Amino acid sequence: MGGTFDPIHHGHLVAASEVASVFKLDEVIFVPTGEPWQKAKNKVSAAEHRYLMTVIATAANPQFTVSRVDIDRPGPTFTIDTLRDLREMRPDAELFFITGADALAQIMSWKDSDELWELAHFVGVTRPGHVLDDMGRSDVSLLEVPAMAISSTDCRQRVGAQNPVWYLVPDGVVQYIAKYGLYMDPATDHDAGTVPVTSRTE
Ligand SMILES: Nc1ncnc2c1ncn2[C@@H]1O[C@H](COP(=O)(O)OP(=O)(O)OP(=O)(O)O)[C@@H](O)[C@H]1O
Ligand SMILES: O=C(O)c1ccc[n+]([C@@H]2O[C@H](COP(=O)([O-])O)[C@@H](O)[C@H]2O)c1
């Protein structure tokens, strides 16, 4: 499952869990984007913060892992590169790409969108406020997941307005946001505080 995860929230986790169960997946790899080129650059938190929040949020589930492929690859993040890298790392795996209704609706604007379908099976999940459409493709599956009307935008705005994000994001992520002072000033860049250094492996 790819995402900017700024921050990761329970909508992401419920969607991943439901797809894993229905499609009997061995593992769900969360892949935080490096530079999400379709989002305003100065409005996205440092990749290390987003990566670490994703690690914290997924730590309790043995089926969930986090990959650095997108944040370690320089330049804008394209899913075509994500899937090629994952395929190289896991040549025997059958890949599924989990995406919400809003992201799926944009897929034809993604880089090399014609070639994406050969690299993975796409699973589009329902998301409150968005229409889920498989674009008539047999290589896209649609899945209704428990409705979680949560967005990262809303979580950031709540922190900026000093409203709680408890139970919208995992507890450890609430604490991480407070520790590094993320999203405190909605008028400025999210990249507040010192970015922790992590090792550059998968
Ligand atoms: N509440 C949700 N239910 C189902 N899918 C979701 C939900 N929130 C996000 N997704 C999906 O998860 C993926 C990553 O989303 P992303 O990290 O951009 O979160 P977001 O909440 O949409 O962020 P933002 O509000 O900053 O745009 C996308 O495919 C998106 O459609
Ligand atoms: O490949 C592209 O051109 C492309 C353009 C926009 C988004 N994506 C991917 O879609 C996923 C969700 O992105 P986002 O911006 O909604 O967090 C994430 O894995 C992104 O890398 C991919």
- pLDDT, tens digit, 9 for 90 and up, residues 59-76: 999 999 999 999 999 999
Question: pLDDT tens digits for 114-125?
Answer: 999 999 999 999
Q: Which atom of ligand 2 is found nearest the CA of 77?
A: 21
Rounded to two decimals, the ipTM of the complex is 0.99
pTM comes to 0.95
Ligand 1 near 102 CB (within 6 A): yes
The response to whether residue 5 sits with its C-beta less than 6 Å from ligand 1 reads yes
Band (pLDDT 50/70/90 cuts) for residue 157 is very high
The mean per-residue pLDDT over the stretch 92-102 comes to: 97
DSSP code string of the chain: -EE--TT--HHHHHHHHHHHHHTT-S-EEEEE-SB-TTS-GGGS--HHHHHHHHHHHHTT-TTEEE--HHHHS-SB--HHHHHHHHHHH-TTPPPEEEEEHHHHHTGGGSTTHHHHHHH-EEEEE--TTS----TT-TTEEEE--------HHHHHHHHHTT---BTTB-HHHHHHHHHHTTTS-TTS-S--SPPPP-----
